[in-house]
Amino acid sequence: MFLMLTLTLLTLLISTLVMLISSFLAKKSITDREKNSPYECGFDPKGSARLPFSLRFFLIAVIFLIFDVEITLLLPVAPTFNLTNTLAWFLTSTSFLLILLLGLYYEWKMGALNWSN
């Protein structure tokens, strides 16, 4: 028990020390206007590098990402059919799909899926 505690503390100490050393060594002390400006073939940029971003597109991308993660959570459902009780498998998968469909319905009703607004 004492050996495990000692090894854990030693690991935490070494990792903290490495992170502190790397943060001190990685700091840039010289800030240059040319290095901080966007590169445009060696010329001064004509416009701002920060273009306005469509918030609608961002919301659609986040919704896509959420449903993509949900699909990866659904993938193990099919192979576990033979390994578990059929009723428990059916109730679990149905409740998960119902929660997903309710979330989709809520986003649809709130207008998060309308691109034209």
List the chain domain ranges. Answer: 54-117
Q: Is pLDDT at 11 greater than 70 in this prediction?
A: yes
- Whether residue 77 contacts residue 93, with contact meaning beta carbons closer than 8 Å, is answered with yes
* Tokens read off for 50: 């920060």
High-pLDDT (> 90) share of the chain, %: 21
- Whether residue 56 contacts residue 111, with contact meaning beta carbons closer than 8 Å, is answered with no
Name the pLDDT band for 37 (thresholds 50, 70, 90): low
43 three-state secondary structure = strand
Q: CA-based diameter of the chain, in Å?
A: 68
Q: Is pLDDT at 117 greater than 60 in this prediction?
A: no
40 three-state secondary structure = strand
Query: What is the model's pTM?
Result: 0.48
Mean pLDDT, rounded, for 81-110: 89
Partners of 71 in the β-ladder:
none
The Cα 40–Cα 102 span in angstroms is: 48
Question: For position 74, what pLDDT does the model report?
Answer: 85
The crossing angle, in degrees rounded to 10, of helices 86-109 and 55-74 is 170
